[in-house]
Amino acid sequence: MLGAGAIGCLFASYLQRAGCTVTLLHRPGTPERTLRLELADTTTTLQLQQATVADCAPIEHLLITTKAYDVREALRSAQQKLQPDAPVVILANGMGLQEEAREDFPTLPVYCATTTQGAHRVDAGRIRHAGKGATFVGGAGTVLPPPWFAPWKMGVEDCHWDADIDSALWHKLAINCAINPLTAVHGCVNGELAEQPGLAAQVAGLCREISQVSYAAGYTATAQRIAQTAMDVIRATASNQSSMLQDVEAGRQTEINYITGYLLKVADAHGIPAPMNAALYAKVNSLGN
Ligand code: KPL
């Protein structure tokens, strides 16, 4: 696997528990790490085998859990050891990643995953599982779960093969478009988007645009539900800092190009104006990350 963030480590532990041999691929010179994983009922020590791409065995299955903007480079970095038919699963925010991977590696079977599992890093060596959620995996035109999915099904709670993963990814993208950029620009926790009337009106405006783009792109279920779903997620995650706000506060690059940037590309392709989303896109980009 590539990407040792909180979600990546959580999935590494699930897959290891299901009997997979998981190796965390890291850059040369990175110190070996032992991670303490705080699950709801137990604290376990996650002993991950670690290696550089140069030192690792041939890669038969690659899980990428980096930030969206690092996925392309991560995949390229693994190229020398990647077996020609190795399934690659990208578990990252946003959309457009599968297309980029296909541009670089047209014959590689690339799949995507999306999850509502919550996990965060408490400190350098500790990861806390913050909330249970569902995970959907699919792609590469594969309708039925392929054999490599068996340990996912076994080890990851509430994990499903999704023959229409693009709809699931779009639905998550729509929610992220309605919440993340606004919280990043206003420096507020998710809940304030419901509590402050001015911000709630902006969420409603963004959702109207997102709904129109969703209809045009054929994502009807999202189009019909996004306004209600966005508010439900805002209330359910009221005390959370969105991942984009966390990125801004940590001085990291944001994933805006793969979230609102992707929505705007789809809007443009269908000739649908999305001025509120476009304005927020420009604002987040001007935050300097
Ligand atoms: O996915 C999220 C994120 O922060 O990226 C939400 C759902 C907005 C929760 O914070």
Question: For 109-124, what is each residue's pLDDT tens digit?
Answer: 999 999 998 888 888 7
Read off the amino acid at residue 18.
A
Task: Report the nearest-CA residue for atom 1 of ligand 1.
Answer: 176
Please give the distance, rounded to the nearest whole angstrom, from the Cα atom of residue 242 to the centre of ligand 1.
5
Residues 15 and 158 in one domain: yes
Question: What is the pLDDT, as a whole number, of residue 275?
Answer: 98
Q: How many CA atoms lie within 13 A of 29 on its CB side?
A: 0
The residue to which tokens 């940590």 are assigned? 250
Please give the distance, rounded to the nearest whole angstrom, from the Cα atom of residue 36 to the centre of ligand 1.
24
Q: Which of 67, 132, 172, 265 is catalytic?
A: 172
Task: Report the nearest-CA residue for atom 10 of ligand 1.
Answer: 242
Residues 29 and 116 in one domain: yes
Element (H, E) at 248: helix 243-249
Q: Which tokens sit at 71?
A: 């996925």
Which residue among 243, 244, 256 is best mutated to probe the pocket of ligand 1, counting the most ligand atoms within 8 A of its Cβ? 243
Domain tally for the chain?
2
Taking only the tens place, the pLDDT of each residue in 8-37 is: 999 998 999 899 999 999 887 777 777 788
Residue 183 domain flag: yes
Residues 10 and 76 in one domain: yes
Known active-site residue 153 = no
Radius of gyration over every alpha carbon of the chain, rounded to an integer in angstroms: 19
Residues 189 and 207 in one domain: yes
What's the domain range around 269?
Answer: 167-286
Taking only the tens place, the pLDDT of each residue in 186-240 is: 999 999 999 999 999 999 999 999 999 999 999 999 999 999 999 999 999 999 9
